[in-house]
Amino acid sequence: EHERMEAQGLEYTALCDIKSLGASCTAVFTSEWGRLMSRLGIVPANSSLDLPNAAYGAAYYALVMFHPIVPMGATLLAAGTLASFATTVTLAYALAFILGDVCVVCISTYFINTALLILVFWPRGKASKLKGT
């Protein structure tokens, strides 16, 4: 949304920009880190694959939801979860130490991706052993 409005010469402020906390999702989303694939040189900048991180995240979360009906869904889910967590670590580092910003949506996503990593790779039956059953 911010890119469309910016192209029209309009100012965009995300709902998660909370000045009292010093949080600015807009600053993060519009930084070079908002398109990690081109930032890391994995895809050429301004190519059709140079999508915002949110687009890749949406594809991953769709895979999480629909992996039972996708061919090779479990394998794709494992690979996607590892890629998602690697992305989480990279972006968390960039947010904290390079951008020096606070992004409520980003941090929430980091927690979700970490929880998914645990859920996808936690051995089945381990939870019942922890309860002593």
Q: How far apart are CA 122 and CA 99, in angstroms?
A: 33
User: What one-character-per-residue DSSP string does 11-54 give?
Assistant: ----TT-BGGGTB-HHHHHTSGGGSHHHHTTSS-TTSTT---HH
pLDDT of residue 129: 56
> Per the confidence metrics, is the pTM higher than 0.85?
no
User: pLDDT of the chain along its 133 residues, tens only?
Assistant: 556 666 676 776 677 778 777 788 888 888 899 999 999 999 999 999 999 999 999 999 999 999 999 999 999 999 999 999 999 999 999 999 999 888 888 999 999 999 999 999 987 765 545 555 4
pLDDT of residue 75: 94
pLDDT of residue 63: 95
pLDDT of residue 25: 80
